[in-house]
Structure 1
Amino acid sequence: MNQVKSFKYDVLIGPEDLCNREEERKSFLSAAKKGKRVVLFAPRRYGKTSLIRNIVGLDFQKGSRKHFLLNFDLMDVRSMESIEERLHTGLTHALSSHFSPKKILAEIIGYLKGFTVQIDQNPNTGQPSVQLTSKKKEAKKNIYDYFDSIKQLSKKYKLMIVLDEFHDIAFVEGAEALFRIFLQELQDTAIFILGSKRHLLKVMFQDSNAPLFHYGDEAHLYPISVEHWLPYFQERLHPAKLKIEEAALSYLVKKMYDVPNAICEVGEWLRENVPQKTIITKTVVEQQLSDLIQRKQSFAYLLQAYSEKEKTVLKMISFFEFVKEPSSDNFLKTVRLPKSTTSHIIKKLLDVGAIEFEIEKGYRVSDPLLGYYLLDA
């Protein structure tokens, strides 16, 4: 019996839930096998982590017993201690999932010279769980030990290293130089640097004074066309005896700023809430979006974290959908704020991830559903 497919959102997805990324999947897998360095720019909720870690990474690892995937989530790191913690989490998880306890104790332990190695049983899964205890007390010195362990592993295994939300190390003094040394010492290792805060990534990789200037090959994830979304939607709506018109889907995709996670969240809402045997039109989408937004009570609490001036800028960006020049006279007249104040607010909203910048379109609210909510807030 075939399993009914739903729209997955706010979770990491596998290949069965991926919509039209086959070309990118093949290209990135080829890059991984060749030991390339890739700096992948993509807005938040575009599925870059799912694509690189869950799909390309697993494809890479299945290619050979000597292939080994290491994933490090650096989102919101603000100190050397937090970087150390993320390195510990990534390395221990990879070791636990890839190697047997016998293999770790017989061989892998030799690559972990800066640590005391302990293997416990995970109480939730019953699976072996590796724990590394640092022999030093200073976070920076422990980071060097993690880097050294990874370098030693790279001599025995073909590694694919994923550094997710890498741009946040920019908030930690000295971290970029630390990573530059580490990354340059890895000879044939595939490195995938993922990031969504383009303004930070641009400074890190395009500023001639930055430690990581011109590191890696720049890559992007582009919007998925309605042409490819349509069969994806129809397949998931069909078991609920629903069908969506192409014009309605075009409207939905546009209002969700082409963000796959948001598109799928609305798709799942439609699948669960529209009466059976309905042909979903633009009018139906508009009504269902309003119903969905009314359920998003968390948005009101989220907005309490912003000042009135910051909320004004957010609301105006959502009104225009995309703003190319927030310092333009037209936008400044709309928000009724000085140029310097607006620039400061834009920078803060970028830093905290409340807004995104897309090269061809400009600034937009990061969460499309929040943007839709702001229209009536």
Structure 2
Amino acid sequence: MNWLRKIGYLSAFIIPALTISSFYVGGIANLSTLLFVYLLIPLIDRITGRDLSNVPKSSVNSVANDFYYRFVTYCWTYFQLAFIIWAAWAVTTHSLSLFEWIVFTIAVSLSTGGIGITVAHELGHKKSSLERFYSKVLLMTVSYMHFYIEHNKGHHVRVSTPEDPATSRENESFYAFWWRSVTKGYRSAWEIENRRLERKGISRWSLHNNMIWFTLLPFLFAGALSAGISLYLGYFVWQPALFFFTQSFFAFSLLEAVNYVEHYGLMRKKVDENRYEQVAPHHSWNASQIVSNFFLFQLQRHSDHHFNAIKRYQVLDHYDEAPQLPAGYPTMILMAHLPALWFKVMNPKLAQWNEKSESEGLVG
């Protein structure tokens, strides 16, 4: 039922609500968010199974244009700003053990990175200038604004090719991938933006260069956060900035874990010396587990997103012919951090998929 799905997408707010309540309980309770995300959601996923249904074609336009679904993402943008400010205030004004500080910061990043970057990703693909602005605001709160350029103009063009920093290779560990994707993705964003300015005859060192702003704005935000709390308290505090950049690190590392999972080992055929085949559903791993898809705004239906990047999350389709992950993203992200386990599970699946694809003429 449509109203049940609408309610389902509000489930994302459970994670920060749990983080806030656990913080005030204190101590080991701060682990609640991590246990919820990495144990309870996978368990519920396993019980409820996969949702293989798609929005009927006759209803796609009405569902896609239903303002409610955009409203949820708009609400998240304002909520995340408030959430970051509250979290910086909380770690500054409360006496925390090192364990509490680290676990709380990771818990915050599950909201800002796991959900916030997912919402930023959704909004950044849209034509609306307001939605794109909200995307940039969310990415600023995790110090990863270059993703707006590199993902849209780099990754979506080069996905599942050796030229794409955000496509993980077969037998490449998550940690090797993380370094390559983070460093080369940032460099790629500069190159893409410099080429844009060169085509317009504008200097790359002008204030029209978005990458200059995208690099500086997180530092300005962290400075404003520290200054604002310092002024309120009447003395200088450094904790807000440290917290902000630490949660940013965990948040964008979570994004890179998702990138690692989404395209592991999948490659597009070369049509000729300079071109690859068009992106198709079989160039992304998918997971249609219903509960984790509610939390992630159907990001796990990744094939359809790459097939039609502007398509709104609520109408993304499941593809039977696309490669399927053995579990939802929370389980797969944990597995990615254990390379031996990842290779043991995913390499045979990749080999089976390649064999199937070759027999069907999908790869060669």
- TM-score normalized with structure 1 length: 0.24
Q: Which has the larger radius of gyration?
A: 1
Q: If the length of structure 2 is used for normalisation, what is the TM-score?
A: 0.24
**Which structure carries more strand by proportion?**
1
